[in-house]
Amino acid sequence: MDTKEKLKEVERCLDPQLWHACAGGMVQMPTVNTKVYYFPQGHAEHACGPVNFKTCPKVPPFVPCRVVAVKYMADPETDEVYAKLKLVPLNANDVDYDHDVIGAETRDKPASFAKTLTQSDANNGGGFSVPRYCAETIFPRLDYSVDPPVQNILAKDVHGETWKFRHIYRGTPRRHLLTTGWSTFVNHKKLVAGDSIVFLRAENGDLCVGIRRAKKGIGGGLETSSGWNPAGGNCHIPYGGFSPFFREDDNRILRNGNSNGLNPSVSMMGKGKVRPEAVSEASNLAANKKPFEVVYYPRASTPEFCVKASLVEAAMQTRWYSGIRFKMAFETEDSSRISWFMGTISSAQVADPLNWPNSPWRLLQVTSYLLFLMPLN
């Protein structure tokens, strides 16, 4: 790669804070020097086609690794954010669960706000109704001595392109609106009702705008957070980690799906963007203790497959059994409330005993969903 190509690669990388705002509040990426476990089965769920692990039969169900590089990126056509992680496999005795992160950054999150677009917001020729919190916290302050209060605002997208919007406070009752410039943005980004718009005030004061495309959760249900929880009895699932839970419908698909000798996680795929060959290559390199790179799409409705080592260890030490109740947070797109997903573990058994006899991936089957919402203060 020559100097110009290297510069282009750097230019395509996003600011991590803007990337996280677009990825969603439930996404927790491992930082450089973090010790994680790599799960080939989870990686396969991000593939766009079947992954034949028979070409690399010595692949273990999970591989301890250290993160040596993270690149935050966005698709040039859809603005969908994704990340490239470079991992170096470790020996099992190298994983020190008391020191998961060396030199991890602890920066405060900048002010951001996300709103799911209504049909009116997404209509061609219409305007965007700005929530008051966003207008007063994220946008530059309006001059309310003018009637009506109005200003032009500039916002940079994930590619560094600047968009100009007219921000006005009007109507009965009065409300904040984006008018001129909004339709152009909607048409260019091909936004539809159900997509979400994200505004962020960067540390340098710049206003940034991002997009979260509408998506469905695993099995077409709720979009949940992912995470192991080491508690017994009533479990509170923390943010981050990976999902040990899936529902009875997903369970039947996974266990009874026609895998044709391939990885049964094929049945859980459908909208993945990672090439199957890339998964096979990464798995083979991991099994042979060689450095490898993976691509992760946080909005793909599939769990993280590179998981903090301490979370995995805590989960592996837990005695999971039928009847355990759990509570797990899941993401709301409008940033206005915390939502919780409750249920009961109905069984704990290996999802694919033939091909992955010792794998904890998708170990738990759950039933009895209950949902409740808590507004943010």
Taking the domains of the chain in order of start, what are their residue ranges? 3-108+216-375, 118-193
Asked whether the predicted pLDDT for residue 69 surpasses 90, the reply is yes
User: How would residue 342 be classed by pLDDT, with cut points 50, 70 and 90?
Assistant: confident
pLDDT of residue 107: 58
Phi then psi for residue 230, to 5 deg, are: -85, 5
Region 209-218 average pLDDT: 75
Region 328-337 average pLDDT: 61
| Helix (H) / strand (E) containing 255 | helix 248-256
pLDDT of residue 151: 96
Region 86-108 average pLDDT: 64
> Does residue 134 contact residue 115 with C-beta atoms inside 8 Å?
yes
How many angstroms separate the Cα of 5 from the Cα of each of 1, 10, 310? 6, 9, 38
Region 191-212 average pLDDT: 92
pTM of this prediction? Answer: 0.79
Asked whether the predicted pLDDT for residue 95 surpasses 60, the reply is no
Mean pLDDT of the chain: 78
Per-residue pLDDT tens for 264-320?
444 454 457 899 999 999 999 999 999 999 999 988 877 889 998 888 888 888 888
Per-residue pLDDT tens for 227-253?
333 333 344 444 343 444 444 444 444
Q: How many CB atoms lie within 10 A of CB 125?
A: 8
Region 1-8 average pLDDT: 49
Alpha helices (runs of H) in 151-215, residue ranges in sequence order: 182-189
> Does residue 331 contact residue 347 with C-beta atoms inside 8 Å?
no
Percentage of residues of the chain with pLDDT beyond 70: 72
> Does residue 198 contact residue 248 with C-beta atoms inside 8 Å?
no
> Does residue 294 contact residue 38 with C-beta atoms inside 8 Å?
yes
pLDDT of residue 368: 58
Asked whether the predicted pLDDT for residue 84 surpasses 90, the reply is yes
Region 159-168 average pLDDT: 95
pLDDT of residue 242: 41
Gap between the Cα atoms of 289 and 66, Å rounded:
11
Cβ neighbors of 258 (< 8 A, separation 6 or more) are 267
Q: Extract the tokens encoding 205.
A: 């004061």
CATH number among 2.40.330.10, 3.30.360.10, 1.10.3720.10, 1.20.1080.10, domain 118-193: 2.40.330.10
User: How would residue 93 be classed by pLDDT, with cut points 50, 70 and 90?
Assistant: low
Check residues 263 and 285 and name the one with the higher pLDDT: 285
pLDDT of residue 72: 95
- Look up residue 28 and give its DSSP letter: -
Region 82-107 average pLDDT: 68
pLDDT of residue 228: 32
Q: How many CB atoms lie within 10 A of CB 193?
A: 13
